[in-house]
Amino acid sequence: MIDLHCHILPGVDDGAKDLLESILMAKKAVEQGVHTIVATPHHLNNRYENNKQKIISRVEELNRALVQEKINLNVLPGQETRIYGEMIEGYEAGEILPINNTQYVLVEFSSSHVPRYSEKLFYELQMKGLIPVIVHPERNQQIIEQPDILYQFVEKGVLTQVTAASVCGDFGKKVRNFSLQLIEANLTHVISSDAHNMSSRTFKIREAFETIKSRYGNEMVYLFEENASLIIDGDHVYKETPERIKKKKFFKIF
């Protein structure tokens, strides 16, 4: 399996605190059947700054450590970028790092809302040849309350990634149910771990795929696994026609 969203790089954000934890996370990922991880540290906030070149350098260092530890895991460079109005300028300045230097860019909203400028920014990113991938939309309060927002993004070519732990219920029943609704409505395209550590935010990919297989069959699991492979290669993903989630089905988070 391929994990497109993981905070495995040591000491760069709120993920692995040091190399030892990175090694333990790598071993856990391999146990889950993961052979390739995209390291996606947070791009920027008040505590840390991770630009493209820094991430590439840290990924090379981690891969060397994994070879020394004889862990059969390949780490690729990526970045989780909290949406901001100057993303185009950041990309042109060499600060924004798409997944494995492809056209796919992980974009994060806050947990509470979706900025009004998001649709315009996504259009501008696509005009630059980039494809936004919204991470964990199932945990955004405004999207849960107004799922048509996400439908409009997906209908216009944006992709989304649901967190494996959300499918497993680690963020609560409401988030789990909404995650399943996104899958049923073809409003998500890949499942990833978003693992941060070995305790509270670890890998749940195998468990998530078992749930998806039991509810929707092997074809859905294959679609998600194949899309992850296509994304790291910069190829076109498989997309079913998105559907709207009816109001009676969505849940509020209080």
Q: What is the pLDDT of residue 247?
A: 62
Looking at the domain assignment, is residue 149 inside a domain?
yes
Average pLDDT over residues 46-60: 95
Looking at the domain assignment, is residue 34 inside a domain?
yes
* 234, pLDDT greater than 80: yes
Single out the residue of 149, 148, 155 nearest to residue 246, CA to CA.
148
Q: What is the pLDDT of residue 248?
A: 52
Any alpha helices (H) in the chain, and if so which ranges?
19-31, 52-68, 87-92, 118-127, 141-145, 148-155, 164-167, 173-184, 205-216, 218-232
Q: Is 150 exposed, middle or buried (0-12, 13-18, 19+ CB in 10 A)?
A: buried
Looking at the domain assignment, is residue 228 inside a domain?
yes
Looking at the domain assignment, is residue 212 inside a domain?
yes
Average pLDDT over residues 12-24: 97
* Residue 179 belongs to domain with CATH number: 3.20.20.140
Could you tell me the pLDDT band of residue 47, with boundaries at 50, 70 and 90?
A: confident
The pair of structure tokens assigned to 240 is 């079913």
- Comparing 99-103, 119-123, 182-186, 249-253, the range with the smallest average pLDDT is 249-253
* 65, pLDDT greater than 80: yes
Looking at the domain assignment, is residue 254 inside a domain?
no
| Mean pLDDT, rounded, of the chain | 96
* 202, pLDDT greater than 50: yes
Q: Which domain holds residue 112?
A: 2-249
Looking at the domain assignment, is residue 182 inside a domain?
yes
Single out the residue of 60, 61, 90, 69 nearest to residue 26, CA to CA.
69
Looking at the domain assignment, is residue 115 inside a domain?
yes
The pair of structure tokens assigned to 116 is 């009004």
Average pLDDT over residues 121-129: 98
Q: How many domains are contained in the chain?
A: 1
pLDDT digits (tens, 9 = 90+) for 100-121: 999 999 999 999 999 999 999 9
Helical (H) or strand (E) element with 39: strand 36-39
Could you tell me the pLDDT band of residue 249, with boundaries at 50, 70 and 90?
A: very low
